[in-house]
């Protein structure tokens, strides 16, 4: 999504997940991994920050200190809490248990309280915070859409994100 928003051409390269070749690129054998001009960058925080800062186009980061803090709060919330309690907790391919539902719903309700009246998570412009949260909400909508019932601010923001090319062009196909 960051590449699309910045207008940076990119290619998705398949990898033998968990293999030694994967470990040579990312010692913790996770994704994403960015190869750029012969350099490998791992971890979403570093990758998205590098793409935002090293290329022309929208900055995707607020210029004021308070805005930056708010963006980083969201990125931290996504990386630590929503990733664990929603993305990792909500199963694919079997019904969600009551306990999983409570864990995920509670995290989403807490995230909802962080959304204000602005269209994007940090003000009037799209930032990396939106690009962190959008795939997590897409993942939730795919696996257990009812988890978002009644969460009006998250849903409204999600609809705004879903209308963007970066969202549509990076949607994954499970078939
Ligand atoms: N802190 C890492 C988390 C990376 C991560 O856990 N990625 C997931 C995919 S979104 C993954 O590789 N999962 C596969 C696994 O845990 O083996 C980042 O922000 O890049």
Q: What is the pLDDT of residue 172?
A: 81
DSSP 3-state of 123: strand
Q: The whole model's pTM is what?
A: 0.95
* pLDDT confidence band for 173 (50 / 70 / 90): confident
Pocket of ligand 1 contains residue 26 by CB under 6 Å = no
Q: What is the pLDDT of residue 15?
A: 96
Task: Output the CA 31–ligand 1 centroid distance in Å.
Answer: 5
Nearest Cα residue to atom 20 of ligand 1:
43
Residue 43 within a domain: yes
Nearest to 57 by CA among 173, 171, 174, 166: 166
Residue 31 within a domain: yes
For residues 39 and 84, state if they share a domain.
no
Pocket of ligand 1 contains residue 49 by CB under 6 Å = no
Q: What dihedral do alpha carbons 48, 46, 40, 170 form, nearest 10°?
A: -30
Task: Output the CA 117–ligand 1 centroid distance in Å.
Answer: 31
Above 80 in pLDDT, residue 71? yes
Query: Domain residues for 71?
Result: 65-169
Q: What is the pLDDT of residue 18?
A: 97
Indicate which CATH number applies to the domain containing 114. Answer: 1.20.1050.10
Nearest Cα residue to atom 9 of ligand 1:
31
Pocket of ligand 1 contains residue 48 by CB under 6 Å = no
Residue 41 to residue 127: CA distance in whole angstroms:
20
Above 90 in pLDDT, residue 5? yes
State which ligand 1 atom lies nearest to the alpha carbon of 18: 17
Q: What is the pLDDT of residue 175?
A: 67
State which ligand 1 atom lies nearest to the alpha carbon of 135: 10
State which ligand 1 atom lies nearest to the alpha carbon of 87: 10
Is the distance from CB of 169 to CB of 4 less than 8 angstroms?
A: yes
Q: What is the pLDDT of residue 77?
A: 98
Q: What is the pLDDT of residue 67?
A: 98
9-55 tens-digit pLDDT: 999 999 999 999 999 999 999 999 999 999 999 999 999 999 999 99
Residue 59 within a domain: no
Residue 97 to residue 89: CA distance in whole angstroms:
10
Mean pLDDT of the residues in the chain: 97
Is the distance from CB of 165 to CB of 4 less than 8 angstroms?
A: yes
For residues 73 and 149, state if they share a domain.
yes
For residues 20 and 98, state if they share a domain.
no
Alpha-helix residue ranges (DSSP H) falling in 7-145: 20-25, 44-54, 65-76, 98-112, 128-143
98-157 tens-digit pLDDT: 999 999 999 999 999 999 999 999 999 999 999 999 999 999 999 999 999 999 999 999
């Amino acid at each position: 999504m960051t590449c699309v928003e910045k207008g940076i051409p990119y290619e998705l390269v398949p990898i033998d997940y968990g293999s030694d070749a994967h470990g040579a690129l990312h010692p913790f054998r996770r994704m994403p991994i960015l190869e750029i001009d012969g350099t490998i960058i791992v971890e979403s925080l570093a990758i998205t920050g590098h793409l935002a800062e090293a290329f022309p186009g929208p900055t995707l980061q607020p210029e004021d200190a308070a805005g930056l803090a708010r963006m980083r709060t969201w990125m931290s919330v996504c990386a630590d809490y929503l990733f664990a309690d929603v993305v990792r907790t909500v199963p694919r391919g079997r019904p969600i248990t009551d306990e999983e539902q409570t864990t995920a719903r509670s995290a989403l309700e807490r995230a909802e309280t962080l959304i204000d009246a602005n269209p994007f998570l940090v003000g009037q412009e799209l930032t990396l915070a939106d690009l962190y949260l959008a795939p997590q909400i897409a993942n939730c909508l795919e696996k257990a859409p009812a988890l978002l019932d009644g969460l009006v601010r998250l849903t409204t923001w999600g609809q705004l994100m879903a209308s963007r090319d970066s969202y549509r062009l990076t949607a994954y196909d499970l078939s």
